[in-house]
Structure 1
């Protein structure tokens, strides 16, 4: 995920200083009103609010003048508790389309601190929240928002605090709405799904033969010098791999797997005296078996329920599984045909490989 700078707003609001000398007992907790900050029909909603503030932190320290005229500071909370009040406001502040994607809001800081300035009170309301998706594997942070709102008030005018708090909370909801609109088509974290496609790599280079339908091997592709003291008459070194190309388009992660089925010329060899059509066919079938495994790998991935959160791990896991299967199948092929010496078994394998490849290529539309 890209590191995005924290969005900060600093506002300075100066209220009218009341000179009233009214005195009263310690005020009641602030009653936070709920309101619909924005209306509309979007593909996301606020599912839950997580209170991640430090345990035991006092929500507000407010000043007032008691019945004797003495200035006092007292700890205050929202009516019903700030955790519940903040959650109710955030969840109900935006349209609740539960068919859309659920967003969480993690409250990192929400606090009011005041100081007595003799004739008036100076205060600061601080909010910091993180917006995130909750995934099967854990939490995916999206962006953070913070705002500091400074104010002044007369000593016994507490009516300004609740509207100021609603303003700060409402601005955070407006921020995530605008962020979602802006990032929807460009931020891969907001992908709604995944589209998988495949392509066979067929470009050739001097030392590598990539598998091509209709392009059979020739002994010119066996360019290594035969080793001394070997009991084999020929050897081919085929394998397969893949490249993964990704693009975020139309709200989907477009993933293309480029399959590479190949043999290495400089690692493959054959003695001149065994260069016959029959012996070449045995080596060709080694190459065909790798192609068959790559098609099985392809069809396995198409059957998986891949999503933006799990596709990389699943693709890599399945590749390793089919790579091991390729080695097992190659070993079994050589054992049963005795490296091509058993002609009856070779014929059986020829027919089986052809039938399997034809079925796979038709299913895979190669």
Structure 2
């Protein structure tokens, strides 16, 4: 499989410090991956794969209310450049698009998490263990979705299924990236 996903548990951490220390690439709507974002090396167990992107979700506290104690959060999909890799024979647009969808899926789950956490009542949002539990649940859901994507597309090798997934994820991205007019 070209794009098997490796999940690294994202905990509530300072995003800016982690990004520099671990060579992390934050998801930006409209910005596409390039092969320069894949700086890692495959492991011996990756012999049957051509490429892999490693993604997760980070949470960052945006602000804490002085009055209620409630915290609002930003959730980010991130890719680890040093853990993402491609073999020379797979550096083509098709494979890169397959890996981009893995990153897009992570972004969709980060957006869902941010909305769910920030819509909690103020008493619940003060409970860090509840926020961490929600993060872990969303990471597990994202992992299942990533696995389903690879399973249904045979790691991108089923072109018809790959096209269906590409259209499905593009539609979802269009919905969440549309600004609501007031």
TM-score (norm: length of structure 1): 0.41
Aligned to 1:296: 112
Aligned to 1:346: 162
Find out whether 1:258 has 2:74 as its counterpart: yes
Aligned to 1:231: 48
Higher relative contact order (CA 8 A, sep 6+): 2
Aligned to 1:312: 128
Find out whether 1:208 has 2:46 as its counterpart: no
| Pairs aligned (count) | 164
Find out whether 1:220 has 2:36 as its counterpart: yes
Alignment equivalent of 1:326, drawn from 129, 142, 160: 142
Shift of 1:219: 0.7
CA distance change for structure 1 residues 244 and 303 in 2, over 3 Å: closer, same or farther?
Answer: closer
Aligned to 2:58: 241
Shift of 1:246: 4.5
Shift of 1:310: 5.2
Find out whether 1:280 has 2:70 as its counterpart: no
TM-score (norm: length of structure 2): 0.79
Aligned to 1:10: none
Shift of 1:226: 2.8
Deviations 1:22-60 (A, max 9, x none): xxxxxxxxxxxxxxxxxxxxxxxxxxxxxxxxxxxxxxx
- Give 1 or 2 for the bigger CA radius of gyration: 1
Query: Where do 5+ consecutive residues of structure 1 fail to align?
Result: 1-200
Deviations 1:56-115 (A, max 9, x none): xxxxxxxxxxxxxxxxxxxxxxxxxxxxxxxxxxxxxxxxxxxxxxxxxxxxxxxxxxxx
Shift of 1:267: 0.8
CA distance change for structure 1 residues 243 and 202 in 2, over 3 Å: closer, same or farther?
Answer: closer
CA distance change for structure 1 residues 226 and 322 in 2, over 3 Å: closer, same or farther?
Answer: same
Q: Over aligned residue pairs, what C-alpha RMSD do you find?
A: 2.6
Partner SS state of residue 259, structure 1: strand
Give, in whole Å, the separation in 2 of the partners of 1:324 and 1:272. Answer: 31
Partner SS state of residue 334, structure 1: helix
Q: Which has the higher helix share?
A: 2
- Is contact 2:32-2:100 (8 Å) kept? yes
Deviations 1:214-249 (A, max 9, x none): 221111111112334610111110111212255343
Query: Where do 5+ consecutive residues of structure 2 fail to align?
Result: 1-14
Give, in whole Å, the separation in 2 of the partners of 1:265 and 1:286. Answer: 14
Aligned to 2:7: none
Give, in whole Å, the separation in 1 of the partners of 2:156 and 2:128. Answer: 39
Shift of 1:353: 0.6
Give, in whole Å, the separation in 2 of the partners of 1:317 and 1:228. Answer: 33
Find out whether 1:337 has 2:153 as its counterpart: yes
Partner SS state of residue 282, structure 1: helix
Deviations 1:312-351 (A, max 9, x none): 3332221111010011001000000000000110011111
Aligned residue runs from structure 1 range 73-92, under 5 A: none
